Structure formats: C-alpha cells, structure tokens
Structure 1
C-alpha cells in the first residue's frame, strides 16, 4: 500500500533476490532509448565493475521481462545485515494527480499506449490508438485544474482528500438525506439477501481477485449473495514471481480477474458478466427475476446502459479521445449514461434497478462503478462529483446496496 506525505507518494519498500544477492526496487522509469518502461533498482551490496558485463554502479535498470524471470521477491526479514545497510528507507516518486497509477505502470501490450510506443502505461485506460495532434475541427483537450489546485492547498487538505470515508460514514450520509429521498421509508419491506444452504459435500470454487478491480468485485458480490462456497485468492498482477500470480496465469484463459476455477479443473473461467450468470445458475437462479419481462429488462440493462456507464467512467477518467475529443464532451457522456440509469429507477419504482424484486445481476454489475464515483475517484482526478440533485434515485439505490450485507462485505474499506 502507498500513503501520501509531503506532496509525495510514499512507495512501499520492495526487496528482491537474485543469485544470492539482494536488490531494492526503486520504481519504474521511461527509457528513451528502448522506448518502453523499465524497472529501476539498486544493488544492496558494493557493486564493482564486472569485465565484459557491467560497470560499477549504484543503481541500474532492467526490462520487466528480465526482472520477473530473474528476481524473486523477499521481505525485510530475509535481508542479511550487510544488505540492510544499503536500504533506502524513503524512496519517493513525484506525485502527479493526472496519473491514475503514479508509482506503477500496467502492461497494455504493444501499440496500445497513448504514444504508440512501448508496452506499459501509467494510465489505467490508455488510448486504443496513438494520440495525434488536434485537427482544425477538434477543440484542444482541456485539463481540469481541480486536481492540480488541490496540491496547492495546505497539507491537511491534501490528506483529507486522500482519506476515503468509512462504510459507516457513507451510510450516515445517506441516512441524513431528507425523508422524501431516504431509503429508510417506513413500512417498506427490508431487502434480504437470497440464501443458499450449501451441500456439505460441495467443494469450494477458487476465486481469483484483485481488490482494486470493479469487475472482480462484481463476482465477489454474487458469490457472497448466493452463498456458493469459494476460496478467495488475491492476485498481484504486477508481480509474476509470486506463486499465486504464477498459478493464476496458468489457469486464467485471458489472464484477467475475475477468474473462477472449479475443483480439479485445469483451466478457469473469466469475464465478469458471464461469471455472474455462472454463479447464479449454480445456485438456482436467485439473482435473476422469474418474470420474463423483468428478465428481458435485466438483459437490456446488461447489454446497453450499464456497459455505456462503464465506458463513460473509464473514458472520462482516462481522457479517451474515442469517447469525445474534449473534456466537456466526456463529462457529458458520463452524465448521459447516469441519466439513463436514473430513468430506469424512475420507471421501475426502485429500490432496485428492476423494482421491488430484490438485487439482480444488473444491480451487481453496476454497483462497483457507482461506488467508485461516489467515493470520489472522478472528483480527485477530474473534478467531477455525483449530483444528488440530478441523480437522486441513484443516491437512494446506492444506499440500498450499501445496506445489503453481500455488498457491504466487498466495499472499499473491506478491500483495503
């Protein structure tokens, strides 16, 4: 985990071992010669020159492939005293609020970065094609000053912006809403999670998850809601040397989370929405409405409005030009996607997307993204805040989700 201090992102100390030597990873850097990101590290010993191999040095770089193949992670406890003497106890990287991953990059594949160079990016959702200079018909992209201005505030304000509210604080905010909009309407029946009595002989599934991933959170909620037995395996996608990551890459068809592996199976299943139906069907269909019209409406939501919201969320966060060439256009696309879901709640009467029938696959598919919008991800990076005045029913819907135990078991504070 990382924390913020003095306007910098404090990076957790990372140690590695290679051929009985110890190294400290300092971060990642762009190499202009190879046109890609590389790992920046330092030897934790006096590294003198080696004939025909390398010059004496205090720090070095290596490709991610070479790093993952040769270096094994270790802990502070593994370091001998002579190695500990070389530790930099406070490595930092300059915190730039416009980057979604200030201290790390992700592998996005060749020709998929915003520049068209290299294989990695600081953007969680880089452009699908290299960026180009704006044409005469395109307005230049405007970078909102909100996030940058925040760093000019006193340090106490910076700390406040980085502190996410607790689950209790979130629920209290909803409880403080006016009675006309409150989710605690007198006489309204409480919504209970569907229950399943697992067979004593039912072997558990293995659920591969990454705590930051909204798509993985979808399946996590479904597993909690149905009671399907499972073992939760957290995966560090960026550290291929870890045993759990190696195993995950062997069994996941697309090497993405979420992935579910059945007992004794060699390959797992991935992709969040198909997995929601897989979990639902495995437990009798408790997350799908029995009424044909309601089930049809659920599939329409999963095919159109919810993917549109997901695309608008990432497009606005990552500055996708394919969503809109301007910041104003991307903001409008997000509001339009939220407007569509607001109208759905108005038509169904709530409290769920399909009405009174209880939480469905559609609700589960939507919640992780509304949670992130409400918690302020877009506020910090793009100066956007969910409007209670414009989307009151989405506020009430979010409150119902937060009071629903299978959802509450997966929210930000639990994941962190």
Structure 2
C-alpha cells in the first residue's frame, strides 16, 4: 500500500450553477459524492494507491447536480465515474479494479491464484450482502442478518496471514468497507446491537480497517 500523503484538502461539491470543466483535456478526474458509499470505494482505491496527484477529485452535489454532468460526462448521471484517456467509466466495482490495474502504486489485489479466486467471489457477493441487509430494518434485523454477518466472519478466517479478507488490505475489503461502516453504526445506535458480538475476526477487521481508512480517506 502506498504511503499515505498529507491529508487532502477537499474541494467544494459542484452544483447546478457550477461552470463546466474543460472535459477531455488530458486530466484524469474521479467524479464522486463525498457521502455516497459507492463513490467512496473508488475514492479509497485512489488514495490507497497514492494517486491524489494523478487523479483529480471532482465532488458532485447529488441533490443539486450540474446539468452538464449528465449531458457531457456521464449519461447515467450517477457517481462514481472516472474520466481517463478520453473516455468515461462508471460502476464502483468496475472502477476499483480499473484504477488498481491501470495506475501506478502498490497493487491492491494479490497475485496468488487462491486469493484472487476468493477475492473475486467476495466482490461478486457484495451486492447480495448489502441488498439483503436493508430490507431487514423493517423486520427483525438482528435475527435476519445473522447469516450475512456470519458469512463475513467465516470469510475472514480463510487466510491467516493478516486481518483482512485476503490477508492484506485489498479490493475485497474496499468493496465492503463503506457499507459495513454504515451498518455498524445503524445496528449500534438504532437497534442497540453489536454486529461483532461473537464474531472476533469481524471485530478485528473493523478495528484495523479504521486505522487503514483514516490514513487514506476521512468519511
């Protein structure tokens, strides 16, 4: 992992009255919303690889977004998106892979075949995991989400060379981190439940993840 740089000054979010940027002028731009968990995946990947000087951060106000973003940058009008080499790419899980593979910096995905295979399984499962949590908020979330959090606990026991899913911090962790952080807060503050109770590996992951994340992004 790249050595963290000095804490980045966050530019203000662009709104409907913001002037258009000089699109496709050779600048690589990552369009995000600071509070969007999908965008945070790409933001964390950028910072973990030490690309703050290579990829310009362009925050968008999603409640008052500029019309030119949809018209000239990304027709789906969502974040994150990445303007690079005269094209624009989107979808957060695709972007974290793209940033890792196409820019300098320590790789965030292992070369070990067993770890790569398991990492892809975890990344493929993340949408199933997150989409299964939200509906439980109207029912019995503690009981209904037990299997989902147990899945993560078991996954964290797959390798023993580090506290993260693939041993060392990787794209697999980045895929889950911004959502797990929110779930931990919701379960603790609203449902008065600790999702790490009886799950020591998940507890360690959350504790160590906080240290890694705080050096690369402040959410």
- TM-score, normalising length from structure 1? 0.43
1:409 aligns with 2:216: yes
Determine the structure 1 residue equivalent to 2:155.
344
In 2, distance between residues paired with 1:315 and 1:258? 24
Q: Is the 8 A contact 2:149 2:195 kept in 1?
A: no
Compare relative contact order (CA 8 Å, sep 6+) and give the higher one, 1 or 2. Answer: 2
Q: 1:222 aligns with which of 16, 30, 45?
A: 45
Q: Is the 8 A contact 1:208 1:234 kept in 2?
A: yes
- Give the helix-richer structure, 1 or 2: 2
Please list, as runs of the form range in 1=range in 2, the aligned pairs for 1:252-267 lying within 5 A after superposition: 252-262=74-84, 265=86, 267=87
Helix, strand or coil at the partner of 1:370 = helix
Q: 2:199 aligns with which of 382, 386, 391?
A: 391
In 2, distance between residues paired with 1:252 and 1:385? 40
Q: Is the 8 A contact 2:82 2:89 kept in 1?
A: yes
Q: Is the 8 A contact 2:163 2:204 kept in 1?
A: yes
- Give the strand-richer structure, 1 or 2: 1
In 1, distance between residues paired with 2:43 and 2:60? 14
Q: Is the 8 A contact 2:40 2:178 kept in 1?
A: yes
In 2, distance between residues paired with 1:257 and 1:407? 22
Q: Is the 8 A contact 2:39 2:80 kept in 1?
A: yes
1:361 aligns with 2:181: no
Determine the structure 1 residue equivalent to 2:28.
205
Q: Is the 8 A contact 1:312 1:333 kept in 2?
A: no
TM superposition shift of 1:407: 4.8
In 2, distance between residues paired with 1:384 and 1:270? 36
Determine the structure 2 residue equivalent to 1:234.
59
TM superposition shift of 1:398: 1.4
Determine the structure 2 residue equivalent to 1:282.
102
1:377 aligns with 2:186: yes
Helix, strand or coil at the partner of 2:158 = helix
In 1, distance between residues paired with 2:122 and 2:144? 17
1:334 aligns with 2:155: no
Q: Is the 8 A contact 1:373 1:385 kept in 2?
A: no
1:194 aligns with 2:194: no
TM superposition shift of 1:396: 0.8
TM superposition shift of 1:204: 4.5
In 1, distance between residues paired with 2:29 and 2:214? 19
- TM-score, normalising length from structure 2? 0.78
TM superposition shift of 1:247: 3.0
Closer, same or farther: CA 280–195 of 1 in aligned 2, 3 Å:
farther
Closer, same or farther: CA 211–316 of 1 in aligned 2, 3 Å:
farther
Closer, same or farther: CA 257–407 of 1 in aligned 2, 3 Å:
farther
Q: Is the 8 A contact 2:45 2:174 kept in 1?
A: yes
In 1, distance between residues paired with 2:193 and 2:74? 36
Helix, strand or coil at the partner of 2:108 = coil
TM superposition shift of 1:397: 0.7
Unaligned segments of structure 2, at least 5 residues: 5-25
TM superposition shift of 1:289: 0.4
TM superposition shift of 1:369: 1.3
In 2, distance between residues paired with 1:385 and 1:194? 35
In 1, distance between residues paired with 2:56 and 2:83? 10
In 2, distance between residues paired with 1:393 and 1:217? 23
